[in-house]
Amino acid sequence: MKQKKSVEDYLKTIYMLSQRKAVHGSDIAEELGLSTATVSNVIHGKTKKISAETVRRVQGLLEEKQYMPGIADILLAQNNSRIIGVVVNDHEKYESHVLEDYFIASSLNHLSREIEKAGYFMMVKVTKNCGEIVRYASMWNMDGLVIIGFCEQDYKNLRDNMRIPFVVYDGYFKEPARVCNLIIDNYDGGYQIGTYFRKLGHQKTLCISDNHICVDWERYCGFRDAVSEQTERAEVTQNSCRNETATAYSSCRDETSIAYSSCRDEAAIAYRSGSADFLEIPMNKKERLTFYQKHLETLRGYTAIFAASDYYAIELMQFLQQNNVRIPQEISIAGFDDVPYCEMVCPTLTTVRQDGAERAKLAVSSLKRMREGKNEEMLLKLPVTLVIRQSTAKSTNFTPIFCDGLRD
């Protein structure tokens, strides 16, 4: 009978422990107003440079909270954790499915390969709050971070408040920033699509995106300049594009507060420039499909449509096909990114390829150099390539248009 009671007590103790909220070193540090490193040093007996009073306070709270060391606290005691964190902005447009986005999924795949190849482990964090990044990186004592999808001010705040090195993926900055920013030539990608559409004889074209700021606007500017027969492609042209963006860009956090009325209003076309129109589409998928249906006849009025991402290109192509629009016989469709799905849809999608593997490789190598104390505050712009597939064809009203570099 005594043994039975002992077993019951044991099981009860296990249950109580399982229900108890885990206490981390970072929690102790926050409550006492100390750094996580100080708490970690006390936990692991490294107290030579810590006052006796601080040691007493930390040990007292550890005992009171019934602290048990976890993996994060063990990592804090090491010089390096061999962990690289990847933080992705859970923007509202992803509707809580950010890791299912074509570009994000492809980027994570390339990063995981390069991080493993370099002898590190990868941890992924999805958040809307940039303020969580510092705590997340410190808690796991990360060797570096790759940050995707946040805004200029967020990156500046991280640069000023975090010692852990980080790399920005495709960040947009109005002015040169003291961060390592790995971008692609968005303007040139749009220009290549526009040039190709001109070669095919398309004279009434459209670009769609869920915003007209940052990288998507640069893609449209390149597209517009090519379609509108602006052959001058000097740096001043791209600077002009950035200036056009500046007024709308005031804060990426509020992407819907844009000067244009946008497609959510009755006037479908938000911006016109010669034969290259711009259409801002809703971020919410259900609203977007409703919008497509409402403006189906407007969409039918174009012979070629360039979507600022493959996701939107594929979605629009499938919508048009469901409404008996032949692709590419009636409307040519092109995207941007060259995600794997481009070769899985029918017809296969013409798009602009960015080298995800090379960008991931540069991200990891830059972080390693920063860990070694080297200054990696720079802008690295990677080239892009047009990939022609089945979703584009000559305009049915084709009239040969010749310009430099386009003659057959």
Cα 137 from Cα 124, distance rounded (Å): 11
263 falls in which pLDDT band (50, 70, 90)?
very low
Residues 158 and 304 in one domain: no
Residues 221 and 331 in one domain: yes
The arithmetic mean of pLDDT across residues 214-225, rounded, is: 92
Q: What is the CATH number of the domain that holds 62?
A: 1.10.260.40
39 falls in which pLDDT band (50, 70, 90)?
confident
Between residues 243 and 394, which one has the greater pLDDT? 394
Name the residue among 393, 307, 405 with its Cα closest to residue 351: 307
Task: Supply the pLDDT for residue 244.
Answer: 52
Residue with tokens 């390339």: 110
Edge-first strand order for the sheet with 121-127 is 121-127, 83-89, 144-148, 166-169, 180-184, 379-382
- Could you give the percent of the chain with pLDDT greater than 70? 75
Could you tell me where the beta strands, DSSP code E, fall in 128-220? 144-148, 166-169, 180-184, 205-209
Max avg pLDDT among 64-68, 152-156, 375-379: 152-156
What's the domain range around 68?
2-76
Task: Supply the pLDDT for residue 268.
Answer: 47
Q: What is the CATH number of the domain that holds 197?
A: 3.40.50.2300
Least confident window among 68-72, 254-258, 276-280, 315-319: 254-258
Residues 7 and 59 in one domain: yes
Least confident window among 13-22, 277-286, 351-360: 13-22
Name the residue among 125, 115, 113 with its Cα closest to residue 149: 125
What residues are paired with 280 via a beta bridge?
A: 209
| pLDDT value at 267 more than 60 | no
Task: Supply the pLDDT for residue 77.
Answer: 52
| pLDDT value at 122 more than 60 | yes
Residues 297 and 248 in one domain: yes
What are the distances in angstroms from CA 219 to CA 65, 89, 237, 350, 358? Answer: 54, 21, 13, 15, 21
Q: How many distinct structural domains can be found in the chain?
A: 3
Residue with tokens 């080298």: 355
Q: What are phi and psi for residue 170, nearest 5 degrees?
A: 55, 45
Task: Supply the pLDDT for residue 15.
Answer: 55
Are 213 and 271 a contacting pair, CB within 8 Å?
A: no
Residue 381's SS3 state is: strand
Q: What are phi and psi for residue 117, nearest 5 degrees?
A: -60, -35
| pLDDT value at 271 more than 70 | no
Residues 219 and 339 in one domain: yes
Name the residue among 184, 168, 275, 267 with its Cα closest to residue 227: 275
**Region class of 66: left (phi > 0), else alpha (psi between -120 and 50), else beta:** left
Max avg pLDDT among 34-38, 93-97, 115-119, 136-140: 115-119
Residues 61 and 202 in one domain: no
Residue 109 corresponds to which amino acid?
Answer: N
Residues 249 and 325 in one domain: yes
Residue 371 burial class via C-beta count within 10 angstroms: exposed 0-12, middle 13-18, buried 19 and up: middle
Cis peptide before 383 (omega within 30 of 0): no
Residue 210's SS3 state is: coil
Residues 196 and 342 in one domain: yes
Within a domain: 401 = no
- Is the sign of the CA dihedral 211, 215, 216, 222 positive or negative? positive
What are the distances in angstroms from CA 379 to CA 84, 107, 177, 357? Answer: 21, 19, 8, 18
Tokens (6 digits) for 203: 């004279």
Residue 50 burial class via C-beta count within 10 angstroms: exposed 0-12, middle 13-18, buried 19 and up: middle
| pLDDT value at 76 more than 80 | no
- Helix pair angle (214-227, 186-199), 10° resolution: 30
Between residues 345 and 270, which one has the greater pLDDT? 345
Residues in the chain: 408
Mean pLDDT of the chain: 80
Residues 259 and 170 in one domain: no
Residues 362 and 222 in one domain: no
| pLDDT value at 72 more than 60 | no
Residues 92 and 174 in one domain: yes
Task: Supply the pLDDT for residue 6.
Answer: 56
Element (H, E) at 238: helix 235-249
What are the distances in angstroms from CA 252 to CA 19, 154, 182, 327? Answer: 41, 10, 18, 34
Are 336 and 351 a contacting pair, CB within 8 Å?
A: yes
Residues 208 and 311 in one domain: yes
Max avg pLDDT among 254-263, 273-282, 351-360: 351-360
Name the residue among 207, 164, 181 with its Cα closest to residue 334: 207
Name the residue among 311, 229, 303 with its Cα closest to residue 273: 229
Cα 371 from Cα 363, distance rounded (Å): 12
Task: Supply the pLDDT for residue 11.
Answer: 58
pLDDT tens for each residue of 135-165: 888 878 888 999 998 888 888 888 888 888 8
Task: Supply the pLDDT for residue 233.
Answer: 44
| pLDDT value at 394 more than 50 | yes
The arithmetic mean of pLDDT across residues 304-316, rounded, is: 96
